Structure 1
């Protein structure tokens, strides 16, 4: 399939031709890997980006319309988009960990007093929030529960929890300034 153009390989791949997709992969995998390596923080992330890029190409092969003769620009753009999605996912979930004394259900009065003393501004800001936001702060930011667990507790979606936590973090950050 050396003489076959990328557009034809994509069309044949869209019809389930695995050999055509393999030829497309063999033709562009090294370039996509080099590009992914430049975008990613780790080798594993780069490999995941390449995998996601070609998985997207396989799923959408019949619908992809190339601007030129090569599929490489489309593959690189798709890789860049997957990289941005990965960075957004990590940014949403990356936060500085709370010290152990603030995690979970604090039972000792001394630890609770110390926490209140060290985080008075946070507690005051949290007290000014609505009840659902206070509950989310307790579940996600203090107890370290996942957004999915918090959503199940509050009877909402994890997306809604993520948005509210993002808004609450902004409010808390503004309280520091």
Structure 2
């Protein structure tokens, strides 16, 4: 197996050419953010897990011929996720309407398009903010925020001290919180 450069663009190209290794790397990098987008849309853990899997399945099918526009695959995956969530909500509503008068008030009645646009815009601003970080800070953010590493595990992975990860991540979160608050 040839070594693949770890950028999203290189991983997308390799996955589009059939590399399961590259697709697994993309999956590991983005499964948590996609899950939380899905959960925010469908509001249920099991449905969010299903939508997440459906999102990655659809992405796998659509990769051939796909050209990554920016540095991150997340905006494209978020779009697929929103479509998958909308399909699931419509399917559930249709199934609910077919049942004999039983109403499930836990299902959202609509997908709030305005909220999705605002969430998408916010995600773009956060991604731009992360792209402006130093390479070390980007790695710390990716490991701790996106992949769920503990401080020490991230420090070991990056070859830095625990305190470096803790302090830098605190500054990164403050910077991102400012971005979020400015958008409100």
Task: State the TM-score, normalizing by the size of structure 2.
Answer: 0.49
For structure 1, list consecutive stretches of 5 or more residues without a partner in the other structure: 100-177
Deviation of 1:98 after TM superposition, in Å, equals 5.2
Which residue does the alignment assign to 2:70?
A: 68
Specify which of 28, 45, 57 is matched with residue 47 of structure 2: 45
Q: Which residues in structure 2 correspond to 1:1-177 (within 5 Å)?
A: 4-95=6-97, 97=100
Deviation of 1:33 after TM superposition, in Å, equals 1.0
Structure-2 separation of matches of 1:98 and 1:58: 38
Could you tell me whether the CA contact under 8 Å between 2:8 and 2:26 is conserved in 1? yes
Structure-1 separation of matches of 2:4 and 2:37: 23
Deviation of 1:39 after TM superposition, in Å, equals 1.0
Cα displacement string for residues 53-102 of structure 1 (whole angstroms, at most 9, x for unaligned residues)? 11111111122222211100000110000000111112222226159xxx
Q: 1:32 to 1:65 in 2, by over 3 A?
A: same
Structure-1 separation of matches of 2:76 and 2:90: 21
Deviation of 1:3 after TM superposition, in Å, equals 5.1
Deviation of 1:5 after TM superposition, in Å, equals 1.5
Structure-1 separation of matches of 2:22 and 2:29: 11
Deviation of 1:28 after TM superposition, in Å, equals 0.8
Structure-1 separation of matches of 2:63 and 2:16: 5
Say how many residue pairs are matched.
99
Deviation of 1:46 after TM superposition, in Å, equals 0.3
Could you tell me whether the CA contact under 8 Å between 2:4 and 2:11 is conserved in 1? no
